[in-house]
Amino acid sequence: MSPLTLKPKMKLKFRLDLNSVSSFQSMSVNRAKTLPLMYGNKEVRYNDIFKITGTDSLNIVIKSSNEMMDNVGKNFIRGNLSVHGNVGHCCGSEMTGGKITIFGNALNRVASGISGGLLRVNGNCGDYLCGKSNHKNEGINDGLVIITGNAGDYAIQRMRRGVVIVKGNVGKNSCTEIISGTVIITGRLGKNFANKIKRGTFILKESKFTKNYTKSNMCEYNFMPFLVKHLNQLSQEKILSLKNFERFTNHKIASNLSELFLIR
């Protein structure tokens, strides 16, 4: 079967809420084509806006996407969703499984409230990456999120578990109030990074964050190669190659039980 593919028939003038794309997997292609969709102040159908081809609803492709398309992959459960182009707000919000790949940039609230699955943005994303969804007081609760570019302000707030990898920089007030989880950032850190955190593992390239920690004794940490191998297997590519690092613990604030690995 060929992937179920959506391609806009026109240049969009109004924002589209595409959260219902995630429900295509539970219906026939003909039903998906006739699903209602608001465009401006008018109700239209998906096949009024998109040319829809293919039949494999577990392998969905959106072509020629742009930042006018919001909620792409919201509540995604299983299968694969590939998006070629930029996306709007709340991409992958509250997804619980499956794999979403964005070949472009994304606006705010990527992966907000995510609790499973793999989401990758091959570009930059806006503010509130992996943050709280509207009706919850926690950010990412599980899953793997990879940003190959930069993330904006307020990224990865109130993380409970899961893994977030940002290969570029993060903005101000990022990683605040983290409860647990693993954060890997290989770029620069913005102001007020990781305030009021409780636990968690940080793997960072920028050394200024180590000043409030105590350097651990030199020893080999056998779990690190397993972590790298596991993440590379999940993503089905080589996203990490960590060979030399230093460990820091015992933050000066007693309630902060996090650990830090500095990439060398």
Judge if 1 and 26 occupy the same domain: yes
What pLDDT, on the 0 to 100 scale, is given for residue 148? 94
Give the contacts of 32 (CB within 8 A, at least 6 positions apart). Answer: 4, 24, 46, 52, 57
The parent domain of residue 97 ranges over 66-263
Together in a domain, 12 and 91 = no
pLDDT digits 0-9 by tens, 184-218: 999 999 999 999 999 999 999 998 889 999 998 76
Tokens representing 193 are 């990074």
pLDDT computed for residue 243 by the predictor:
67
pLDDT of residue 134: 79
Boundary-marking domain end, from 57, 80, 102 = 57
Cβ-in-10-Å burial (0-12, 13-18, 19+) of 40 comes to exposed
Q: Are residues 9 and 130 in the same domain?
A: no
- Residues 113 and 200 occupy one common structural domain: yes
Q: For the chain, how many structural domains are there in total?
A: 2
Check whether residue 12 and residue 128 sit in a common domain.
Answer: no
Same domain, 203 and 120: yes
Same domain? 47 vs 159? no
Instruction: Give the residue carrying structure tokens 């509540």.
Output: 75
Q: So what's the pLDDT on residue 216?
A: 87
Core vs surface per residue 241-260: b (16+ CB within 10 A) or e: ebeeeebbeebeeeebebbb
pLDDT at 8: 97
The residues of the chain scoring below 70 in pLDDT are 218-220, 239, 242-243
Whole-angstrom distance, CA of residue 55 vs CA of residue 57: 6
**Dihedral class, residue 222 (left if φ above 0, else alpha if ψ from -120 to 50, else beta):** alpha
Distance CA 102, CA 29 (A): 23
Both tokens assigned to 67: 């930042």
Choose one of 40, 57, 74: the last residue of a domain.
Answer: 57
Q: What is the pLDDT of residue 197?
A: 95
